[in-house]
Amino acid sequence: MEIKLAKSYGFCFGVKRAIEIAEDSKNAITMGPLIHNGEEIKRLQENFSVRTAHDMSEIGDEKRVIIRTHGITKEDLATLKASGKEIIDATCPFVTKPQDIVKEMSEQKYKIIIFGDANHPEVRGVRSYAKNGALVVLSVEELESEILGPKVALVSQTTRKISEFQKIVAYLVQHVSEVRVFNTICNATFENQDAVLDVAKESDVVVVIGGKNSSNTKQLLTIAKAHCADSYLVENETDLSAAWFEGKKVCGISAGASTPDWIIEKVIAKIREFSI
Amino acid sequence: MEIKLAKSYGFCFGVKRAIEIAEDSKNAITMGPLIHNGEEIKRLQENFSVRTAHDMSEIGDEKRVIIRTHGITKEDLATLKASGKEIIDATCPFVTKPQDIVKEMSEQKYKIIIFGDANHPEVRGVRSYAKNGALVVLSVEELESEILGPKVALVSQTTRKISEFQKIVAYLVQHVSEVRVFNTICNATFENQDAVLDVAKESDVVVVIGGKNSSNTKQLLTIAKAHCADSYLVENETDLSAAWFEGKKVCGISAGASTPDWIIEKVIAKIREFSI
């Protein structure tokens, strides 16, 4: 069986940057999991004593706090600053951008709409910068019952699909006089998405490697499945099943933006074992 | 044969307003044809001595100049003002709006894109308010060879189809960080378009009444034809042909935004004669 890597996969700029920051911040604690990848977080804890607080109360007396790639809320940041802790900001610059936009646009009295998952930490953080609240939606249907007003500013969670974002834009353009559209979808996400589509078309089985709670990994799986029905999501090599590869000729590989290369390598090695 | 009027047709707010202004401005001259309807312009000339200058040179020594519904260029307006003439502004407020937006957005350093026909007087006027020029396009293909930069402001000619405008928006959202979308398509245009679609579906012949150089009338014809192949554009009753109505059961009627009721009535009377 041939193994074909997608042209673009795995870690994005923001994640690579966050890991470097964490490796340089031995013994610090991160507010929220640094990235959406349990394996990498474990490695940082074991090799660099970088631990994870799951909420503000778990930070306790720690003096050095790393802000996760997805960012935190404005209020939590203010609390940390007020407590005099050293703040090491690993927020992805592509996430800081929608935070800044939302702050600026809400000051300019635009109604803020965020295209994304209201429960995702990135979106919770971005939303917290809206002075008078923000509407968070995943579909046009959710907009239909809302009074939108004449001026709307729209941002997107960085890991969303552009085609879905476009549907929100189209609805708003039809119903609002001025729509200020900020395409804050990350290029890395585009690149991995385009690449998994290409590789899925040429494969009869696809393995997407990444966290099962990572939205960008799940998007990759959705795209892969649309072009290759036998597509699977694994967090590491132990999730693989030999049966997936029986009789297959080409196995496509992609990985979410938070998946480190060393996990991808282990998964590929295991797939090779199956296909011998 | 049943004659079915579209639920909304004919004169829009801006045209009604311009005619009232012209009727109140006896002996004045309009800069460019007041509206896109030769018959109505003839009536204004005959009954109110309101004449038409086709360019600035034809204004001559006239003291009172009416600005047409489509507006004029910033430069022509400045020339008229400098010459001390009395200016009677019949520019449709829905056209003044994109003029103001283009002025403001170009001052804020946005690249200006106008969705519309570069040769249309409305678009020429709107474009003239862009400090450093504007890109005027009718299709996505025209955008593909352009360097767009990070900040774009988009307006539309008031009489364009929203579905085509949406294609431009979608392209820009995918290629530009911030797209400021001003939906300056006129509601009257929407209403007449929706109504002609409905009536065309229920008809086996459709007559659209309006100026043959009126872009909104041509749009109505395009929509009608998509739902009823036997759709025709007429400027007045003399353009009608008896053959169009032979064996037909339902004749749908719509009219462009510049078509006066008295022309519509004459056309309907003539169609009734054919179908006796």
Chain B residue with the nearest C-alpha to that of A167 = B170
pLDDT band at A84 (very low <50, low <70, confident <90, very high): very high
pLDDT at A189 over 80: no
Name the residue ranges covered by the structural domains of chain B: 2-9+187-274, 13-91, 94-181
The number of C-beta contacts closer than 8 angstroms across A and B is 51
DSSP A64-85: EEEEPTT---HHHHHHHHHTT-
Chain A residue with the nearest C-alpha to that of B151 = A182
Determine the Cα–Cα distance for residues A121 and A32; give it in Å rounded to an integer. 9
Percent of chain B with pLDDT over 90: 83
Q: Which of B176, B97, B90, B172 is closest to B139 using CA atoms?
A: B172
Average pLDDT of B240-245? 96
Which residues, 6+ apart, have CB-to-CB distance to B138 below 8 Å? Answer: B115, B116, B117, B164
Q: What is the pLDDT of residues B8-37, one digit of tens each?
A: 999 888 988 999 999 999 999 999 999 888
Contacts of B174 in chain A (CB under 8 A): 162, 166, 183
Whether the CB of B148 is below 8 Å from some CB of chain A: the reply is no
Q: Any idea which fold B2-9+187-274 has?
A: Cobalt-precorrin-4 Transmethylase; domain 1 (3.40.1010)
User: In this predicted structure, what is the pLDDT of residue B276?
Assistant: 67
Contacts of B166 in chain A (CB under 8 A): 170, 173-174
Cβ-defined contact of A180 to B181 (cutoff 8 Å): yes
Cα radius of gyration rounded to whole Å, chain A? 20
Q: Please determine whether the domains at B2-9+187-274 and B94-181 fall in the same fold group of CATH.
A: yes
| Token digits of residue A20 | 């470097």
Which residues, 6+ apart, have CB-to-CB distance to A228 below 8 Å? Answer: A200, A201, A203, A204, A205, A206, A252
Q: What is the pLDDT of residues B84-109, one digit of tens each?
A: 999 999 999 999 999 999 999 999 99
Tell which of B152, B164, B165, B181 to mutate to test the A interface (max A CBs under 10 Å): B181
Output phi, psi for A40, to 5 deg: -70, -35
- Domain A13-90 classification at class level: alpha beta
Average pLDDT of B181-208? 92
Cβ-defined contact of B180 to A182 (cutoff 8 Å): no
Does ipTM exceed 0.90?
Answer: no
Question: Is residue B57 helix, strand or coil?
Answer: helix
Q: Tell me the nearest-neighbour CA distance from B200 into chain A, angstroms.
A: 23
Average pLDDT of A149-156? 96
Average pLDDT of A25-40? 91
Q: Which CATH number fits domain B13-91: 3.60.40.10, 2.20.25.90, 3.90.105.20, 3.40.50.11270?
A: 3.40.50.11270
Cβ-defined contact of A170 to B165 (cutoff 8 Å): no
Chain A residue with the nearest C-alpha to that of B183 = A177
Q: Any idea which fold B94-181 has?
A: Cobalt-precorrin-4 Transmethylase; domain 1 (3.40.1010)
Q: Tell me the nearest-neighbour CA distance from A148 into chain B, angstroms.
A: 14
B191 is catalytic: no
Q: What is the pLDDT of residues B64-76, one digit of tens each?
A: 999 999 999 999 9
Q: What is the pLDDT of residues A200-244, one digit of tens each?
A: 999 999 999 998 988 889 999 999 999 999 999 999 999 999 999
User: In this predicted structure, what is the pLDDT of residue A276?
Assistant: 67
Q: Using CB atoms, which residue from B165, B177, B182 is nearest to A183? A: B177
Tell which of B108, B155, B173 to mutate to test the A interface (max A CBs under 10 Å): B173
Q: Which of B149, B138, B144 is closest to B178 using CA atoms?
A: B149
Average pLDDT of A133-147? 94
Q: Using CB atoms, which residue from B174, B176, B183 is nearest to A173? A: B183
> Could you say which DSSP state residue A59 is in?
G
Q: Tell me the nearest-neighbour CA distance from A2 into chain B, angstroms.
A: 34
Catalytic residues of A, which ones? 122
Q: If contacts are CB pairs under 8 Å, which of residues 174-193 in chain A contact chain B?
A: 174, 176-183
